[in-house]
Amino acid sequence: MIRAILSRIRQGHRTMPYPNEPLAMPERLRGYPRLTLASGNEMSGDCPYGAYDPAAGGSLDLGRCLFCADCPVAAVSFTTDFQLAVSRRDELIVRPDAGRYHAERLSAQLLKLFGRSLKFREVSAGGCNACEADTNVLSTIGWDLGRFGIQFVASPRHADGLWVTGPVTHNMRQALLDTYAAIPAPKIVVACGACAIGGGPFRGEPEQSDGIDGLLPVDLYIPGCPPHPATILEGLLRLIGRIS
C-alpha cells in the first residue's frame, strides 16, 4: 500500500489543465476552415458531400463537411482551431467575409439545473463508432469529463439530455424518439458528428434520415467526422458556462 501511494505521488496530476490553460493541438488537425475568395477553376472545386457552395464568394457547411485530408476545393484550407461547436444549424455555414460563431450557454433556468451536473443518455443511431469512440475518450483520466459534472448514464430516466451520433437509420429512428420521450423535461439534445447533423457521407441514402434535424430540437451542434475530443469538450463547456 505504501509503495502504491508513493508511486501515485511520483506520477503527479495527469489530467490536462484545459480549460484553465490553452490546449496544444497537433499540426495535422483539421479544425476551423479558412476560405479564400477564389475564381475560375479554383472556385469550381466539387465537394462530393455537397459541403461547399461556390455561389456568392463561396461557403462551407461544417454540418456536411467531413474534413477530408485532401479537400478537393482549392479555396478551402483548415487551421488547427478545434472550436467548432455552435448552437444553431445556420451558424455552421462558414463564409470568407463573415464572422464566426461559438456555442452559447444555456438559458439561466437551464444553467441553474444543469450547470453543475449534466447527465446524457447516448444513442448511436447507425453510427460507425468513430464519434462514439472520441466521445468515450473524454471519460479517461487525461480528459476527465466528470470533473465538470458531465457524465453519461445508462438509463434515459436518469438523464438530462440526449446525445445522438449516426445518421438515424430507419431501424433506429423509433428507438431514438422513444429514448428522447423517456428523458424527463426539461431536456437538451446534442448532435455529435456530421452524420447526426446532416447524414454525413450517407446523406440522401434512402435507409436513413439525414440526421436529427427535423426529428428533434437541437441545442448543440458538434461538427466533425469524427469531432476531436477537444471540440466536443469545448462545446460542452460553453454550453454550461464554464468558458465564454
89 or 3, which is more confident: 89
Q: Please give the C-alpha separations between residue 52 and each of 39, 62, 228, in angstroms, as whole numbers.
A: 14, 9, 21
pTM of the model as a whole: 0.93
Tell me if 93 sits within 8 A of 65, measured CB to CB.
no
Tell me the C-alpha distance between 56 and 105, whole Å. Answer: 32
Which pLDDT score is estimated for 43?
Answer: 47
Which pLDDT score is estimated for 98?
Answer: 82
Tell me the C-alpha distance between 189 and 219, whole Å. Answer: 5
Tell me the C-alpha distance between 35 and 26, whole Å. Answer: 21
Question: Average per-residue pLDDT in the chain?
Answer: 93
SS3 97: coil
**pLDDT, tens digit (0-9, with 9 covering 90-100), for 155-173:** 999 999 999 999 999 999 9
Nearest to 87 by CA among 68, 72, 100: 100
**pLDDT, tens digit (0-9, with 9 covering 90-100), for 197-210:** 999 999 999 999 99
Q: Using a pLDDT cut of 70, give the percent of the chain over it.
A: 97
Tell me the C-alpha distance between 240 and 237, whole Å. Answer: 5
41 or 15, which is more confident: 15
**pLDDT, tens digit (0-9, with 9 covering 90-100), for 35-73:** 987 555 444 568 999 999 988 788 999 999 999 988 989
Assigned C-alpha cell, 131 = 464519434
Q: What is the DSSP letter of 33?
A: E
DSSP state letters, 105-151: PPPHHHHHHHSS-EEEEEEESS--SHHHHHHHGGGSTTT-GGGGTEE
**pLDDT, tens digit (0-9, with 9 covering 90-100), for 91-122:** 999 998 888 999 999 999 999 999 999 999 99
Which pLDDT score is estimated for 12?
Answer: 74
Tell me the C-alpha distance between 36 and 97, whole Å. Answer: 9
Walk me through the domains of the chain, giving residue ranges and CATH numbers: 108-239 (3.40.50.12280)
